[in-house]
Amino acid sequence: MLKIAFIDHYDSFSFNLIEWLAEASQSISIEQVYYDDADALSKLKKFPIPSVISPGPKSPEDIPETISFIQDVWGKAPLLGVCLGHQALCYSRGFTIGHALDPHHGAVRPLSYLQDPIFKGCDELNVVTYNSLIVNTPEYCNDSEYKIIATDQSGQLQAIKFLGSKFPIYGLQFHPEAHLTKLGPVLARNWLKFLGQ
């Protein structure tokens, strides 16, 4: 059975995300680790396993424990960041965080997206967002380090794939586990497929 760490920022969406992953596969076990549990994070840094970085009510600047964890395990295990987790992944690589141009909580938005294995089986992508902050799109894209794979109608970054690691590293600004993100189960199965490769 594959073990996955869920780095939790005490968020109300955490249970839904854990359930989203658990329903996608019966061959995984999920270890819930709170981001301020120094002992648990220290163990994960020494023995990295696939990790999901959760949403949360803070900004990346407020969670140095998570940023340190990401930097220490980068390239050593698959990572998936959702909302704040996505922002934390980007922030740890030098991206800046700003305010969303058109913040909505619980809004369904269509995304423009590139062909990528995580979107396999998606003919269209309508997703739910809950965020006031957003990762600022860099003026110049470094194609060797990352690829922006989805944006919203305002052109704001909604999904990113980091390159140069033998393990998959993805960030999703939107909430794939939300009921109104209709293709959420497809995204979960696609990400879990990476872990079995």
187 and 117 Cβ atoms separated by less than 8 Å: no
Per the annotation, the verdict on 90 as an active-site residue is: no
CA separation (Å) from 42 to 29, 35, 60, 89?
A: 20, 11, 19, 18
Closest CA to 81 of 174, 10, 12: 174
What domains sit in the chain, N to C, each tagged with a CATH number? 2-195 (3.40.50.880)
The tens-digit pLDDT sequence of the chain (197 residues) is 899 999 999 999 999 999 999 999 989 999 999 999 999 999 999 999 999 999 999 999 999 999 999 999 999 999 999 999 999 999 999 999 999 887 777 889 899 999 999 999 999 999 999 888 999 988 766 678 999 999 999 899 999 999 989 999 999 999 999 989 999 999 999 999 999 75
DSSP summary character for residue 18:
H
Q: Which residue has the tokens 């089986």?
A: 121
SS3 assignment, position 82: strand
Neighbouring CB atoms inside 10 A of 169's CB total 23
What distance lies between CA 59 and its chain's CA centroid?
A: 14
Give the pLDDT of residue 1.
87
Query: Which of 83, 90, 122, 141 is flagged as catalytic?
Result: 83
- The neighbouring-strand residues paired with 131 are 104
79 and 70 Cβ atoms separated by less than 8 Å: yes
Give the pLDDT of residue 143.
72
Instruction: Tell me how many helices (H) and strands (E) the chain has.
Output: 5, 10
Please tell me the pTM assigned to this model.
0.95
